[in-house]
Structure formats: C-alpha cells, structure tokens
Amino acid sequence: MTAKVLALTMGDPAGIGGEILARAFREAPAVTAGCFVAGDLAHLRRAAAAATPPGAAALPIALIERPSQALEVPRGCLPVLQVGAAAPALVHWGRVQPQAGAMAAAAVTWAARAALAGEVAGVVTAPLHKEALAAAGVDFPGHTELLQHETAAQLGRAASDVPVRMMLASDELRTVLVSIHVSLREAIEAVRTDSVLQTLRITHEALSRALGRPPRMAVAGLNPHAGEGGLFGREEIEHIAPAVEIARREGLDASGPHPPDTIFMRARGLRSFDVVVAMYHDQGLIPVKYLGLDKGVNVTLGLPLVRTSPDHGTAFDIAGTGQADPSSLIEAIRVARSLLPDAVAAR
C-alpha cells in the first residue's frame, strides 16, 4: 500500500510552502489523493488558515501516524504526519530563522529516509530557504545535496560515490545541470570531461526510463558561441567535446557543444532535443523559468528514489497572505507520479 503514497515536505514554515500545500489539497483533490505532508502540525494549520479563501470553510486537517494512513483520508482533507516534537512556538512569516531552517531540514530528512526504506513511493518537496538552512547549522545548501547525503549514508558510501544532477522540466523545455549550488567561479572549474560525461550518463539513464526510449541530449557550451574554436575559451575543445564524443561511442544520443545562446530555442517545445545539458545553474535555469514558474518542476536525477519540487522559492514577500500559486507544486506531484516504476512500465 505504501508504494502508492507520496510524502510532501512542508518546506520553510516562514515561507509559502504550507500555503501552496493547503491550496493543492483544496483545489486539486484528485491529484493529492494518497499524499500527505511531513512537517509541523501547528505551522501547517496556520498556513492552511492563511490560504483559506474569504467565506470558505476551513480545510480539514487529519493527523496521521504512519504514511499508509494517507490512503484512508477523504479527498479534500490535509493529512499531516508530525515530524519530531511539536514546535514550541510559531516562527515569524517572511524571515530567515534558524528554527525554520531546522524544521524544513528535518522534514526532508524524514521523507528521504522513509522513501529509501520503501515506506513511501516518492518525495515532493516544498520550497526551503538556503540561508535559513545555514542559520540552523545544516551543512547542505539545498534539497539536492541533503538528499544525496541521506542516500549515501543509507548505502554506506561517500556522497561523491552517489552522483546526482538537477533537472528542471516543463512542458516546453528540460534542462539538466553539470553543477548546481556553487559560485560561478567554482562552476567554471567544474566543467571537466568527467563531470560532463557523468551528467550525460545520469541524464540518459533517468530519461530513458521516463520516456521509454533514449533521450536526444543537446550539450551547451560554456563560453559565448561555444568558444568559437578556442577564440573565447578552450573548455569546449578540452573538456566538453571530448565528453560528448565518449558518450556517443557508448551509444548515447548526444550532440554539441552548441552555442548556449541559441540551443535552448532549438530545444523549446521539445522539438529538436529532449533535454539540454547546461554547464551551470543560471545558464540552464533562466530559460526554463522565463517560460513560466507555474509549470516548471525540479527533478533530482541519480537517486534511488523519486523526488520532485516546484520551480520557485519561499517567496517571503507574500508569505502568510494566501496569494501563493500552487500550480507548480501540483505539477510536481503529477510528475512524481509519472516517474514511479508502475507508471513508467505502463507507458
């Protein structure tokens, strides 16, 4: 039964995570059926109240003790599994706070361990705040690294032996990143033959399962015009092109390096390519986010569990106002369902 259940983490309780979760359960009961939220009950009650439309009845909340009970909760009701001890006090809306970062990290850690233990089918994470994580003493800059650490610990390996990649996907464009949350200087240094090749292998394996066929992968260059034959940089010649060639010899459908200022247009609408492999965070994410935050979904590739997330942050500026749009979260739940083994096998 637990193979049908998705764990949704509450995100940073000072942000909009709880509100979009409440709105998703209210507005998309068919999508959220069989889901539950891992987090703090009091903060989720506050968020549900903030997200209640004027004149509407309060969203019912059911406290559950184990994931399988989510299947027994009626649609339109928000099942909550309390992670850890109840918070002694509510955090303030819209502020970076150590307590908020600690609660967000605890929910993700609990959900990751539940997924790795087979207690839930997958994890959908509401937004957390990286500064709040750091303030709480969490050593990981985001969801991806935290999930990587938990997986490595469960497998008895070093984190470096569990390579993961971030994919941001919408109906129009998919992009996978060679590096994630590092400085631009570090991102440039990370463009090496082995890291690009590893990204291509992870992308090929993950999207082959999701699509039911090998993906057409376009590799973006690092420099303007993909280096213009070495005039604007040699990373394409010394690292990116060799990685593409090795991947092709292994039977992967990869091409490039392509000029980064045009390759996303060629891939838009998933016409010429199924995915663009980008060299660093902003190069890959700006095009997808520009197309619309309401449908973008963050997917972690390379883990032995399904994890998706909405394509936006904590939106502290509107937290507690009930204005937050749940569309990206709802899409993230749909994508997570589509990536489960039974769903992929049925295609």
pLDDT tens for 119-164 read 999 999 999 999 999 999 998 888 888 899 999 998 899 988 899 9
Give the phi and the psi of residue 125 in degrees, each rounded to 5. -105, 130
d(CA 34, CA 26): 14
What's the CATH class of domain 171-291? Answer: alpha beta
Candidates 248, 109, 267, 241; CA nearest to 175 is: 267
As a whole number of Å, the CA-based R_g of the chain is 20
The CATH architecture annotation of domain 1-163+304-347 reads 3-Layer(aba) Sandwich (3.40)
Residue 255 token pair:
């091409």
d(CA 115, CA 303): 11
Residue 24 pLDDT > 80, yes or no?
yes
Contact (Cβ atoms closer than 8 angstroms) between residue 252 and residue 214: yes
The tens digit of pLDDT for each residue in 281-326 reads 999 999 988 887 567 899 999 999 999 999 889 999 999 999 999 9
Q: What is the pTM of this model?
A: 0.87
Burial of 346 (0-12, 13-18, 19+ CB in 10 A): exposed
% of the chain at pLDDT higher than 90: 82
d(CA 24, CA 330): 6
- The predicted pLDDT at position 93 comes to 98
The tens digit of pLDDT for each residue in 82-110 reads 999 999 999 999 999 999 999 999 999 99
- For 239-274, letters b (16+ CB in 10 Å) and e give bbbbbbebbeeeebbbebbbbbeebbeebbeeeebb
Helix (H) / strand (E) element for 61: namely: strand 61-64
% of the chain at pLDDT higher than 70: 97
Burial of 57 (0-12, 13-18, 19+ CB in 10 A): exposed
Residue 16 pLDDT > 70, yes or no?
yes
Domain with CATH 3.40.718.10 in the chain: 1-163+304-347, 171-291
d(CA 47, CA 44): 5
Candidates 302, 279, 306; CA nearest to 161 is: 302
Helix (H) / strand (E) element for 62: namely: strand 61-64
Q: In sequence order, what are the residues at sequence separation of 6 or more whose Cβ sits closer than 8 angstroms to the Cβ of residue 246?
A: 193, 197
What sign results for the dihedral spanned by CA atoms 143, 149, 155, 161?
Answer: positive
Residue 107 token pair:
């929910």
d(CA 263, CA 197): 19
Strands 306-310 and 297-301: antiparallel
Place of tokens 């200022």: 261
Burial of 196 (0-12, 13-18, 19+ CB in 10 A): buried
